[in-house]
């Protein structure tokens, strides 16, 4: 399964329009790739979380 994003890519979280940077990725045999995103949440906090490629849009 191809990886849609690479480390350092700027992305937008589709559901919330929050923007951040890919700082990690995980690839699995039986699951879609996961991307660890460092982003500023809507309430202004710095946060990090895992997302699937379908939840992200490249900026």
CA distance 22 to 2: 16
Q: What is the pLDDT of residues 44-58, one digit of tens each?
A: 999 999 999 999 999
* Percent helix / strand / coil, the chain, rounded to 5: 5, 50, 45
Q: What is the pLDDT of residues 1-33, one digit of tens each?
A: 566 899 999 999 999 999 999 999 999 999 999
Cβ proximity of 52 and 32 under 8 Å: yes
**Tokens in use for 17?**
């329009």
pTM assigned to the model: 0.89
**Tokens in use for 5?**
């994003």
**Tokens in use for 56?**
């992200």
């Amino acid at each position: 399964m191809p990886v849609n994003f690479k480390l350092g890519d700027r992305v937008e979280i589709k559901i919330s329009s929050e923007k951040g940077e890919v700082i990690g990725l995980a690839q699995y045999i039986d699951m879609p790739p996961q991307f660890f995103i460092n982003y500023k949440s809507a309430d202004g906090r710095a946060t990090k979380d895992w997302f699937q490629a379908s939840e992200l849009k490249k900026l």
